[in-house]
Amino acid sequence: MSRMTLAFALAGSVSLGCGFAVVGADAAAKAAPAMTFSHEVVVDEQRAGFEPDIAIDNAGRMYTTIPNGSSEAHSFIWQSLDHGKSFQMIPGQFGLGKPATCPQGGGDTETQIDKKGDIFFSDLQNLSNLSNSVSTNQGATWTTNCLSVPNSPVDRMWYAIHGNLGDPDFAIYEEYDAAASGTNPNDPNAPTNQLVESVSHDGITFTPVFNGNLTDGKVDDNCIGGGQLNCVTDNEGISGNQVLAKNGDLMIAHTTEDSNQVVVSRGKLTMEPGGQVIAHWKHMVVNASLCPDKAPNPGTCGASNFATIAEDSAGHFYVAFSSQKNNASGNPVGPYQTYVVASKDGDHWGKPMLVSRDGSNAFSWVNAGSSGRVAVAWYHANETNEGGHYLLDDLTHAEISVQVGESIDAFSSHPHWSVATVSEHPIKYGPICTQGLNCTVSMGDRSLGDFLEVNHDAQGALLLSYVDDTSNTYTTGPTGAVAENGPAVVVRQIGGPSLISGTIRGAGTGPGAPYGSVTDATGDDVYSANTQRTAAGDNLDLTSARISQDKNGLVVTMTAKSLSSLLPSPLAGGTTAEWITRFTTYDPHTAGNGHIYYAGMESVGGEQQRYFAGDVAPTPGTGTEISMLFNSNTTISGAQQGNTITLHVPWSMIGGHKGGRVLYSATAFTATAAGTLAQNPLGLFNLTDATMPFDYVVK
């Protein structure tokens, strides 16, 4: 199966009115080679989430994290040691989640890695403060400070790193919103957000980066109130990420209080005697040609929901955001479109370039490689409006997918952009709530969160992390069918232009795009917990997986290194062993968007096998860390012969025999549990091995 790929070039300028200067397509210009991508690698079979990030160290180890919600006091961190073919939770997990459980953790997460592989992890403490954690041994052990920043309340944080932990000049900067800390001169009863900056030399204790404009006796952007000492600006909407320029300046992308302007705040840093860091800030609006901030009703024309920034190897900068066309009254009269604006020096910015093509496009993230090579990813809706209403919140029948645009000549006179659809199928059906935490009040659908991320590996292959909400789990509320969170997934580019140099050809060492079957390396089965990665044993070490069919249904086959004994190793985390294959089906225009089906074999204490199949369901009750329940109650026909497990799944258990239907991201995995999944209300198990994903097309 091939993904839809759109290649086009940007040249010339077309006016759409209302301040929109849109760069148009030149069909005669040459197109870059088509980008192609792997199947989705499911990060965790049990835990759902949103807003996943993706970080890669110099050894090729990958990390992704998601928040699980402040009410749970947990966030999740996973690690891949096989170039993104599979993921496991870090060995330093505490209980069910993050390294150390702080009283109100589980909110927004942020991860960065220094050049020697030390991991820095930040977690939102229910708006009250941030916990910051550091690991110097690839996630085995962590040092954590639960109250690490000088402001409160706080929201949405981002890192930027200078040097390596332990170096004399090491510094890690963390910017975030000091929520409701500023004063509103027009309405004293409506406090504003302040964008603030802090710095740490150990990764866990942060002190203010003082606003030098204030120490010079100037009042900058009404920077008075709770965040005054380390305020960057009081004209703050949502904080985007930040980067450190080659000259040491901090560059922050964010929106203004009215959400109409996209701003890059540039801070020149100086170190004072005693270790105080002072920043002199200047603020540059980069979307003025699209969204002139005119009274009396400018409306929301700027970024939705984040503006993001990246720096390439030559020190050039790129900001991505999404904007809507508004009328004179500030009401949306056009869909969200995704733009990139570039600068060679961070001070002089070009006009925004339109990258997205059709539909509605928002929640963009930008990443850069070599000089002039840049990629931006976003969530794409296949419709622009419903009944003349253009907000993503209004698109109740939209099919949402993931798209990416890439340019390898962003500073040429006529930059070329290629656009590809990354996800093999729409990953969500229905609207996206754009009201942030207010979605909880409005019962809006926030299952995708507010962003996805794109990064690249050492070869320049793009890596995207996002949520696939095809899980058939949803509730009905005042805004319609509200999807539950689906699993976080990671997809790797396997063809097309590299973000560094040349062309990506084939899957390399990362996940590919196989159909029907896969093989799996031996010796990669481990129980990751209690600060250790412990070999789980030959019986949990998968060597291959396959799906075929007969007249009655699917035939699922798994092989292990040795099944001479079904009893798990006493060091593998449980006395019950599981061998399971899961796959996703996509049901268009349907609430829930599809199903996650599974078939497996279970042995309790090495005794008689149980063969089972089912459809994952949300765990009963509320407030649980395990979101997708695998239940072994429903028996199917199966057999184990030697090292091979064969399972027969009736057509009726996967929605019938539908020729041409694709079973997406089929993944075989092994796990241990404390008892049978038929009597485990949370379905909790410990993942020990997983194959890379493959697809199967029903005949």
Tens digits of residue pLDDT in 533-560: 999 999 999 999 999 999 999 999 999 9
**Tell me, what's the pLDDT at 26?**
36
pLDDT exceeds cutoff 90 at 65: yes
Residues 311-351 have pLDDT tens digits of 999 999 999 999 988 877 778 889 999 999 999 999 999 99
* Tokens (6 digits) for 128: 């009250």
Asked if 63 and 52 touch (Cβ cutoff 8 Å), the reply is no
Strands 416-421 and 399-407, bridge-based pairing: antiparallel
Give dist(CA 35, CA 498) in Å, integer.
Answer: 9
Element (H, E) at 639: strand 637-641
Asked if 696 and 562 touch (Cβ cutoff 8 Å), the reply is no
pLDDT exceeds cutoff 50 at 25: no
**Tell me, what's the pLDDT at 370?**
98
What percent of the chain lies above the pLDDT cut of 90? 68
**Tell me, what's the pLDDT at 126?**
80
At 482, the pLDDT band (50, 70, 90 cuts) reads: low
pLDDT exceeds cutoff 60 at 625: no
pLDDT exceeds cutoff 80 at 288: yes
Residues 354-404 have pLDDT tens digits of 999 999 999 999 999 999 999 999 999 999 999 999 999 899 999 999 999
What DSSP string runs through 684-695?
Answer: --EEEEEPPPEE
**Cβ neighbour number for residue 345 with a 10 Å cutoff:** 11
Q: Is 214 helix (H, G, I), strand (E, B) or coil?
A: helix
DSSP E strand stretches across 18-67: 20-25, 36-37, 41-42, 55-56, 62-67
Give dist(CA 387, CA 395) in Å, integer.
Answer: 9
Q: Scanning the structure block, which residue is given the tokens 């209403």?
A: 389
pLDDT (average), residues 278-286: 94
pLDDT (average), residues 295-318: 84
**Tell me, what's the pLDDT at 174?**
98
pLDDT (average), residues 600-605: 97
pLDDT (average), residues 608-636: 83
